[in-house]
A = this chain, B = another copy of it.
Amino acid sequence: MRKTLLTLAVLASTALANALNLYSPDSTFVMEFKILDGGIPAYNLNYKGKPVILDSKLGLLLKADQGTMSYDDLSRKNDVVDKSSLYNGFEVKSVATASQDTVWNPVWGEESEIRDHYNEMAVTLHQKQNDRDMVIRFRLFNDGLGFRYEFPLQYNLNYFVIKEELSEFAMTGDHWAYWIPGDYDTQEYDYTKSRLSEIRGLLEAAVTGNLSQTIFSPTGVQTSLLLKTDDGIYMNLHEAALIDYSCMHLELDDKNMVFRSWLTPDAMGDKGYMQSPCKSPWRTIIVSDDARDILASRITLNLNEPCKIEDTSWIKPVKYVGVWWEMITGKCEWSYTYDLPSVKIGETDYTKVKPHGKHGATTENVKKYIDFAAEHGFDEVLVEGWNVGWEDWFGHSKDFVFDFVTPYPDFDLPYLRDYAKEKGVKIMMHHETSASVRNYERHLEQALQFMNDNNYDAAKLGYVGNIIPRGEKHYSQWMVNHYQYVLEQAAKHKVMINAHEAVRPTGICRTWPNLIGNEAARGTEYYAFGSIKTGHTTILPFTRLIGGPMDFTPGLFQMDIAKVNPNRPVKVNSTICNQLSLYMTLYSPLQMAADVPESYEPYMDAFQFIKDVHLDWDKSVYLEAEPFEYVTVARKVKNGEDWFVGSTNGEKKRTSKIKLDFLTPGAKYEATIYKDGKKADCYDNPTDYVIEKKKVTSKTTLKIDEARGGGYAITIRKL
């Protein structure tokens, strides 16, 4: 590792102390740090000679009453210490710069090698009035900026409570923004593309229903946020390494076009309990005039700590099917009986109630899925609704809602475990917590051990409903701490985690690669619940996926849900080829073929792509990209010469034109192209597709028509 360290002494000159410049390695970015009047720290960012972030203030607001007490004097109440400012009265105490240019290898990912290349500047600020220091560390990459606050161990800043973080991101204009409403409890919204100035007027309508939601501001939006200027500059705002801190949203001052950080509060309205030495997560600004660079940026992963798991051999990509879609479409139930108004775990005797006969997770049904998985080379079968308690699992704020170990009478766990094992398949565990977090933590050790004892190696977690402890929010520091605790306990048990309804990821999968998935966005289930905007999957890579992979669960082939469940007359506005493309464009080491096996039977030729697609890559090249319109990517397999390509299209029919110059020059390949048929349309004709074989080389250019809500997928085999 080549690391150059330069330290600059305390700067005597006022002029120097007021503005410190940091350049990206290739000099396309210049960040300027300065102290504004009143000792307010601020930064701005230039890209290719032009401002992309105007002067933006930094700092935090602390809780004034710090509540320290002397044990000797119980008659004295909490001292009121007005030390609430960590946002002004600062001067530069010292500056340390450094550079890094290294490569590292992720356990799984879009590439097998990632370059970490930046120039860094750590500014130590001294606040005279309170005699304390704070550090702001900046890292400037060739595709963007990251910065974070660091709080050194010191008597005058030891325990403190954050009321709000005051990090600004000052916009240079009324840009286009691709946003979802800021919410302490859910991210499952459709995206809206609008001018910044229009957010206020559009937010209320954007807030569609959810089982747990808490809007906090008429101009509050979530990270990660994508922006596009009229000059064609793309910007993504997000955070990296969200550990032991509250999750950040952004509130827009739409008078001045300045975004400011807005953290998630706890039940008391406080936003973070801190003990120095400690630090905030990194706030990240990815910028490019080429949309593809946003998708190719690895800033988020680079700003996370290296892998903390010594032996990662048990961490593998997972391709799965599952007893899930049947319940999502309402064809089957998670529950076992209608006989009981409610159940009490450990008390209700399920052998004495009458099953309604619509239970999805039965031995017989799961066997079917195991057979299907084994036949088609899938690793695992997710089974939801296998464990007692689903009769009243949500909407009641129920504390002891599940025990995570007791199956229903019609789910023969040992039999299925062994049957799957014979067939070379695993069952994927499901831990729906119902957001009853203390209950889950009480059972966690037993639940993980149960997994170890029964040949499970991966668990899908759910946090549906309002959090218990009541008053906490899904994205508060308390809950961020919980998700991390579960992840680390799971790692001790060599269990991979796919956490739904948890906080959106921020690159922690670098440090804990057993985090193989999150949901944290509007996913496939919404095709069955309500709707998903056509084009949703062409904005997700620019927003949600910047933090980490999504368990989007694509692979729907039956676009008329009424054919799965006559009582659910909704349509899936996506073509089959669009569904295939998602395995490529929504990268994830965990991928589901979401539909019921019967839906695939008429289309086994198209299904072949799902069987063939890899989940872990040597290299990725983004070929075409425009947020909310289209994304086309090519990826090379590990340990081989084959490539895969996928293109996801949004609302407008288009022709995709890609050069295959990423192929090895001189080599010959055969491409199998799965593309929309001539009449394909995500609403009117979603199952119209064509499979074409073609010889290609690195000199080939392909032109493929994409339907509205369509796409294509290509396997390119080296001959």
A residues sitting closer than 8 Å to B (CB atoms) are: 67-69, 71-77, 153-155, 158-159, 161, 208-211, 266-268, 270, 273, 275-276, 330, 341-342, 344, 392, 394-399, 438, 441-442, 445, 469-472, 478, 481, 485, 529-530
Contact = CB atoms under 8 A, between A and B. Distances in A.
Number of copies: 2
Contacts of A392: 158-159
Given A208-B75, A209-B74, A441-B442, A276 B342 contact: yes
Contacts of A154: 341
29 contacts: A67-B397, A68-B396, A71-B394, A74-B530, A75-B208, A75-B530, A76-B209, A77-B209, A153-B341, A154-B341, A158-B342, A159-B342, A159-B392, A159-B397, A266-B471, A267-B268, A267-B469, A267-B470, A268-B470, A273-B398, A273-B399, A275-B344, A276-B342, A399-B481, A438-B438, A438-B441, A441-B441, A469-B471, A469-B478
B470 A270 contact: yes
A276 B342 CA distance: 8
A394 B67 CA distance: 10
Given A208-B75, A267-B471, A397 B485 contact: no
A470 B478 CA distance: 10
Given A74-B208, A74-B530, A471-B471, 10 more contacts: A68-B396, A69-B395, A71-B211, A74-B210, A153-B342, A399-B481, A438-B441, A442-B485, A469-B469, A469-B472
Nearest to A478: B469
B472 A68 contact: no
Contacts of A71: 211, 394
Contact of A268 (B77, B441, B471, B478): B471
Contacts of A75: 208-209, 530
A159 to B, nearest CB: 4
Contacts of A275: 342, 344, 396, 398
Contacts of A341: 153-155, 158
Contacts of A270: 470
A334 to B, nearest CB: 9
Contacts of A266: 469-471
A653 to B, nearest CB: 30
A270 B469 CA distance: 12
A394 B161 CA distance: 15
Nearest to A347: B277
Among A67, A209, A438, A469, the most chain B Cβ lie within 10 Å of the Cβ of A469
A694 to B, nearest CB: 44
A492 to B, nearest CB: 12
A536 B153 CA distance: 45
A378 B76 CA distance: 38
Contacts of A153: 341-342
Contacts of A344: 275
In order of increasing CB-CB distance, the 3 nearest A-B pairs are A267-B471, A267-B267, A74-B209
Contacts of A276: 342
A596 to B, nearest CB: 19
A159 B77 contact: no
A376 to B, nearest CB: 30
Nearest to A156: B341
A273 B442 CA distance: 19
Nearest to A343: B275
Contacts of A445: 445
Nearest to A161: B397
Nearest to A67: B395
Contacts of A395: 67-69
A481 B469 CA distance: 12
A470 B344 CA distance: 28
A683 B481 CA distance: 52
Contacts of A68: 395-396
A398 B471 contact: no
Contacts of A209: 73-77
A155 to B, nearest CB: 5
Nearest to A482: B438
A441 to B, nearest CB: 6
Contacts of A210: 74
Contacts of A69: 211, 394-395
Contacts of A478: 469
Nearest to A481: B399
Contacts of A76: 209
